[in-house]
Structure 1
Amino acid sequence: MKAKPWSMMLMLGALAASAGALFAEDPKLEVHEWGTFTVLSGSDGAALQWYQPGQDLDLLPEFVEGGIGPFQKGANITSMVRMETPVLYFYPEKEMPVKVEVAFNNGRITEWFPAPGLPENGRTVWNGKLFPPDHADALKRIPEVKSRGDHYRHAREVPAAWIFKGRASMFENPAPPVDVNKDSDKFIFYRGAGDALPPYSTRVDDKGVFEMRHTVDGGAIEVAFALSVDGNQARWARVPRLPATNREDMTTFSAFSYVALEKPAEAVDKVATELSAALVDELDRAGLTPEEARAMVATWQGHWFREPGTRILAILPRKYVDQVLPLTITPKPQKVERVFVARFETLAPAKEDALLGLLNRDLTVKPDGKEVSAFVALQLGRFGSGALTRVQTLENSRLLSRFWELRRSELATEGKATASR
């Protein structure tokens, strides 16, 4: 029996529609991201505004670009949070165009490579194309990391990651000049500064006891490590799980976690090796590939494990990352992994008191060698501006306390004098 013409048309239309839907379906794409947030706090656990002077900034390779005006590359931006290295890796099934949009809520993106296009609706936007890891022409467009910014090269040590080809610059006249033939990399790199603090605070006492707690409702911290580095010696310990909080359940609102560094100090090289291995394992479990986890730790091991100071390194809940750093990718990936580590740098009370003592001197007299040596021994490094802010607050509190103590004594004296008349 022959089909009627209108039936045949309906059948052909249905087949065409299903074929169109098949070819219109987004190609398979998986995206992985790792990144860091750095926060500095005083001995009371409160976060501090801080900035890195130009000479203390991590030098990035020459081809990395930055913003304009006060947000230009290397600018001394005062903030509570430094977002220091988000890196996006792509794993598509085939060559494809891709669009990436990211915003930093209550912050600004300050450096990047490859360069994005013009912002859209307050978001930084990259338009480009993905090429296989062994694509000869795409490989030629990846700029060489020379002596400057050597740590940057570690992020490229992910063999399976595809190459993102962007555009050389979003500016007509970039400075320094950018090679328009070098506009690709094995990832998208960006970083920034802002005030969207993670909902946690940390502090440490002079005995090496660390405490971590919530500042507002927040998710659980499943993985965290406490570390103290003093010269060539270091101590570390795993921080117990910090439960999530819910203000509707007051039994969880005061949740906190603490750990004491009880083991004797060891060579910093030994500690760095142990912590590197432990953190790579945890980053792998959190969603990164082993190669990505190793690349992340290799990028930051110098600062995380060797830089003098006291800190907690914690893997942040995905919910916070998505809230503060919303990410949109087109075509929509089948899977997106985002693994961020927060570095909570802390100032112990003794360090604050020592700095305050060095600053409370006669300003008309130049510091002598002993004072300079004492200042160097504090090993404030790039957190010096934040430490200064903290001791200024302490000094102001002491001045206020002293003033009102004198004022109360004055009023009491006046009261006795009035009563005796």
Structure 2
Amino acid sequence: MKRVVRISIVLLISLGVVLGVVKLRRSSHANNKASSANQNNLVVHEWGTFTSIAGKDGVALEWRPLNGSIDLPKFVHTMQQEGLGLRHSQTKAELTALVRMETPVLYFYSSREMNVSAEVNFPKGKITEWYPQARSVGSTINWGNFKVSPGAAFNLPADYSDNHYYAARETDAAPVQVCGSSGKAAEQEKFLFYRGVGSFDLPLSAKLNSQQIELKNTTKDPISSLIVFENRGGKIGYQVVNYFTGQKTTERPALDDNIDSVIRDLKQTLIASGLYDKEADAMIKTWRNSWFEEGLRVFYVLPRKTTDEVLPISINPSPTQLVRVLVGRTELITPEMEKAVRKQVSLLSDASPKVREEARMEIQRRGRFAEPILKHMLDDETEPAMRARIKQTIASVSRTD
């Protein structure tokens, strides 16, 4: 009887030990999983812009968005450079498209150093500029594996200090380091940067009809925020439209506001869309001179679904948070613009070389938007002599190096 009791006690003790070991192993496994999850606590934020020009019907015009001044540091890689097996029969300035995809940047946040890979697809477009170097570039850009190094003190590349590119660095994001290929040195930056051109359906059409702007959301998804902005002769006006679906008509803005006011509202929109405070500041600082220059335009935050369809993205390991804030910018050609350019076109045939040169410079001052304005004018022009001058001017501004 005592032997039976002893055996029972031994069995109970053994069973308790086994259960304890199993429980300990389960607990250890759970802790390891939690620890691994914490170690892979990767957060990725992206911002960028799409620029288009609305035609008379409100639909985006085909234009040559790269026919303008180079606004990037020399160290940024371009589609015309040798390397990575890239070959292009066209120059950048000859590319025509509906949309210019400008400065998407990807920020990475992590509590520890980690290896990450990232790829962005642009099915209906072409990548034209990027930094750091990528493994493959075309309608897809793939950086392969790179290192995210929070707190690292890299010597980031610099070219000339007043370039707006550098403003995007003014965040708390971790620096990234991409290994060089074919004996080239590694490249470091505070983000992954890329640009491109493409032709795809935009979620918004905008049409100027006298003093009213007719807006149409072409998708089923709401546009969370929209700003109609105008700078005419240095006078500023803007209107804010929130949660926009279907169609809406708004008045052309009264020119009684100021830049600080529109920046404040735009920053609030960017933060509400998911950007950190410093990221919103960096985006606005990057584009301030261009966004608020002379002209009438509409800014809107693309629905996330549209962003993911236009630019599918793959990041490994999968981030615990992925924020993508792309701002559409639609330029509207106004009667005032056409009148001013028409005057300059007339002066191109003036007897004075000085007057002709000043007129030419005024037209060139409109940069990449000069050609679309001239083509817009040509649609309505009936006088043969003026039509001939406009065509000649279009040919002049269309010449590439």
TM-score, normalising length from structure 2?
A: 0.78
Partner of 1:345: 331
Measure, in 2, the Cα distance between the counterparts of 1:28 and 1:64.
30
Contact in 2 for aligned 1:102/1:124 (Cα 8 Å): yes
Code of the residue aligned with 1:85 in structure 2: it is: T
1:9 offset after TM fit, Å? 12
Contact in 1 for aligned 2:119/2:140 (Cα 8 Å): no
Equivalent of 1:210 in 210, 213, 236: 213
Code of the residue aligned with 1:144 in structure 2: it is: A
* 1:359-387 per-position Cα deviation (integer Å, ceiling 9, x unaligned): 79999x98977677667666633212222
| Partner SS, residue 239 of structure 1 | strand
1:263 offset after TM fit, Å? 3.7
Equivalence map 1:7-156=2 (5 Å): 11=22, 18=30, 21=33, 25=37, 27-52=40-65, 54=67, 56-67=68-79, 68-70=86-88, 74-118=92-136, 122-133=140-151, 135-136=152-153, 139-140=154-155, 142-147=156-161, 150-156=163-169
Are residue 237 (structure 1) and residue 238 (structure 2) matched? yes
| Partner SS, residue 384 of structure 1 | helix
Equivalent of 2:312 in 326, 336, 347: 326
Task: Tell me: CA distance 1:273–1:352, structure 2 relative to 1, closer, same or farther (3 Å).
Answer: same
Equivalent of 2:321 in 335, 357, 360: 335
Partner of 1:415: none
CA RMSD of aligned residues (A): 3.7
Out of 281-290 and 111-120, give the one that drifted further: 111-120
Out of 345-354 and 28-37, give the one that drifted further: 345-354
Return 5+ residue gaps in structure 2 as ranges: 1-11, 80-85, 385-401
Task: Tell me: CA distance 1:219–1:71, structure 2 relative to 1, closer, same or farther (3 Å).
Answer: farther
Contact in 2 for aligned 1:145/1:152 (Cα 8 Å): no
Equivalence map 1:257-272=2 (5 Å): 257-264=249-256, 271-272=258-259
Contact in 2 for aligned 1:45/1:201 (Cα 8 Å): yes
Return 5+ residue gaps in structure 1 as ranges: 174-178, 246-254, 400-421
Task: Tell me: CA distance 1:256–1:338, structure 2 relative to 1, closer, same or farther (3 Å).
Answer: same
Measure, in 1, the Cα distance between the counterparts of 2:170 and 2:163.
13
1:145 offset after TM fit, Å? 3.7
1:319 offset after TM fit, Å? 1.5
* 1:224-257 per-position Cα deviation (integer Å, ceiling 9, x unaligned): 22222234x1222223336324xxxxxxxxx224
Equivalent of 1:275 in 257, 262, 265: 262
Measure, in 2, the Cα distance between the counterparts of 1:263 and 1:75.
35
Measure, in 2, the Cα distance between the counterparts of 1:62 and 1:33.
23
Equivalent of 2:221 in 210, 219, 223: 219
Structure richer in strand, relative to its length: 2
Partner of 1:289: 276
Measure, in 1, the Cα distance between the counterparts of 2:138 and 2:214.
41
| Partner SS, residue 292 of structure 1 | helix
1:116 offset after TM fit, Å? 1.2
* 1:291-332 per-position Cα deviation (integer Å, ceiling 9, x unaligned): 000000000000001x22211111222111111111111111
Measure, in 1, the Cα distance between the counterparts of 2:366 and 2:33.
60
Partner of 2:398: none
Measure, in 1, the Cα distance between the counterparts of 2:55 and 2:357.
23
1:96 offset after TM fit, Å? 0.4
Contact in 1 for aligned 2:222/2:303 (Cα 8 Å): yes
| Partner SS, residue 115 of structure 1 | coil
1:278 offset after TM fit, Å? 1.9
Measure, in 2, the Cα distance between the counterparts of 1:226 and 1:198.
17
Q: Percent identity?
A: 31
Contact in 2 for aligned 1:70/1:77 (Cα 8 Å): no
Aligned residues: 364
Contact in 2 for aligned 1:43/1:348 (Cα 8 Å): no
Task: Tell me: CA distance 1:284–1:18, structure 2 relative to 1, closer, same or farther (3 Å).
Answer: closer
Partner of 1:176: none
Measure, in 1, the Cα distance between the counterparts of 2:353 and 2:248.
43
Equivalent of 2:178 in 145, 166, 182: 166
Partner of 1:248: none
Measure, in 2, the Cα distance between the counterparts of 1:347 and 1:325.
28
Contact in 2 for aligned 1:66/1:72 (Cα 8 Å): no
Partner of 2:389: none
| Partner SS, residue 285 of structure 2 | helix
Task: Tell me: CA distance 1:124–1:38, structure 2 relative to 1, closer, same or farther (3 Å).
Answer: same
Measure, in 1, the Cα distance between the counterparts of 2:289 and 2:347.
35
